Chains A and B, each alone.
Chain A
Amino acid sequence: DAGVIQSPRHEVTEMGQEVTLRCKPISGHNSLFWYRQTMMRGLELLIYFNNNVPIDDSGMPEDRFSAKMPNASFSTLKIQPSEPRDSAVYFCASRAGFMNTEAFFGQGTRLTVV
């Protein structure tokens, strides 16, 4: 299995532009998480899905952030418009639906907004 796949690995964009991050979870996993990691705030859970349905988006910082999971093999996190304070590493993780399994992380997308 290729693991959780995220794209792009690096993204540099100008303030005000739209940014879309992509994630392909491990096949057969039915829970998907989006995290943001910064030095100041550590690992923050933004949103998670179960069976493609958003369960908790209370971690999404503002309305500029949105996430979708149109099917079991694909999810996007969109920021529109982007701001310099959105610069961070964004991780996607997936997990099989059993209670005791751990989450597996993708390689992350390093976003820089200038």
Chain B
Amino acid sequence: ELKVEQNPLFLSMQEGKNYTIYCNYSTTSDRLYWYRQDPGKSLESLFVLLSNGAVKQEGRLMASLDTKARLSTLHITAAVHDLSATYFCAVFQGAQKLVFGQGTRLTINP
């Protein structure tokens, strides 16, 4: 059974700082997805990582995938308050079953 684990689960940081969220998964997969969820809202797709070494960047967020280590990272550069949200990674078990991590609740303080 696929397990997807995120670290940390809670993160409070100051504006302007850098930090990284980690996502480990337990079985072989070459596809990983990052989502963002604002309080009371739905999940919004951020990044689709499709191969080993894939790197995607959008504004102050950068995601990468190391399939050999079964690890993905979401790096936040010079954080701003608007990035406060819960971030989820998700991995497919087999071709169709999408399994999510526990989520990382990110709070960015002025």
Contacts and interface: CB of A to CB of B under 8 A. Distances in A.
Interface of A: 31, 33, 35, 42-43, 45, 48, 50, 55-56, 91, 93, 95, 99-108
B31 A100 contact: yes
Q: Which of A91, A95, A102 has the most CB of B within 10 A?
A: A102
A31 B96 contact: yes
Given A31-B96, A42-B102, A48-B96, A91 B50 contact: no
Nearest to B88: A43
A5 to B, nearest CB: 11
Contact of A42 (B42, B95, B98, B103): B103
Contacts, number: 49
Interface residues of B, number: 21
Interface in B68-104: 88, 90, 95-103
Contacts of B44: 105
Interface string B11-55: 000000000000000000001010100000111110010100000
A50 B96 contact: yes
Contact of B43 (A56, A91, A100): A91
B96 A42 contact: no
